[in-house]
Amino acid sequence: MVRVFGWVVLLARSDAAKDAEILVLRHEVVVLRRQVARPRLDRADRAVLAALARLLPGRLRLNRIVTPGTLLAWHRRLVRRKWTYPSAPGRPPVSDEVRALVERLARQNPRWGYRRIQGEVHGLGYQVGEGTIRRILAAAGLGPAPRRASATWRQFLKAQASGILACDFMHVDTVLLRRLYVLFVMEVQTRAVHIVGVTAHPTGTWTAQQARNLMLDLGERAG
């Protein structure tokens, strides 16, 4: 309250008095910086200085002890602390022997899909999930059957990019650490990004409605 009252009083002073005080304060800061290696600031000090620093010209922000980036870094630390979960043990890694077996079966049988390869591997005594087989083949550059002998996925995307939209969710955290989910869509050919909607509680109904709104915005391009 004392700080706020002091700012109100400052607004009533003349410009000449303010300029003189600024010069005095600048010189005091120079003197203090020669004596203090690293000032100690609490959170309130950092918040006030960072909020006021954004009102300064860009060249003057660089020499401040606290910048707007300080608030962002502080916020990132708070987010990390809030959303820290205990690390659970993951699945054991797939052995090189199984990887080689999956790749060999896929190359020798280009019309076999993931499930067929999974069944053959299971018949040989190896317990491997379908998703794991899909990742092994993708890492080896082998697409799904029966397209292994035809164009690659990259070539397909390049040829069809003008008609493909990619969509996903990302999340942002507010100052009060409330998590919001952002639905965005990117045009593959131009890399243009559309922010479709923001919500704290994404549902299937909400997402479908945002997709309809996007189709209306695209107009004739939706075809």
User: Contact 184/194 with Cβ under 8 angstroms?
Assistant: yes
The share of the chain scoring above pLDDT 90, in percent, equals 18
Q: What is the pLDDT of residues 166-189, one digit of tens each?
A: 999 999 998 888 999 999 999 888
Residue 22 pLDDT grade (very low, low, confident, very high; cuts 50, 70, 90) = confident
The mean per-residue pLDDT over the stretch 130-153 comes to 75
Residue by residue, DSSP assigns 124-173 as TT----HHHHHHHHHHTT--STT-TTS--HHHHHHHHGGG-EEEEEEEEE
User: Contact 130/139 with Cβ under 8 angstroms?
Assistant: no
Whether the per-residue pLDDT at 217 is higher than 70: the answer is: yes
What is the model's pLDDT at position 129?
86
What is the model's pLDDT at position 210?
94
The mean per-residue pLDDT over the stretch 66-75 comes to 77
Q: What is the pLDDT of residues 194-212, one digit of tens each?
A: 999 999 999 999 999 999 9
Whether this prediction's pTM lies above 0.75 is answered by: no
Q: Chain-centre distance of CA 24, in angstroms?
A: 44
Q: Specify the higher pLDDT residue, 200 or 164.
A: 200
What is the model's pLDDT at position 5?
56
Whether the per-residue pLDDT at 153 is higher than 90: the answer is: no
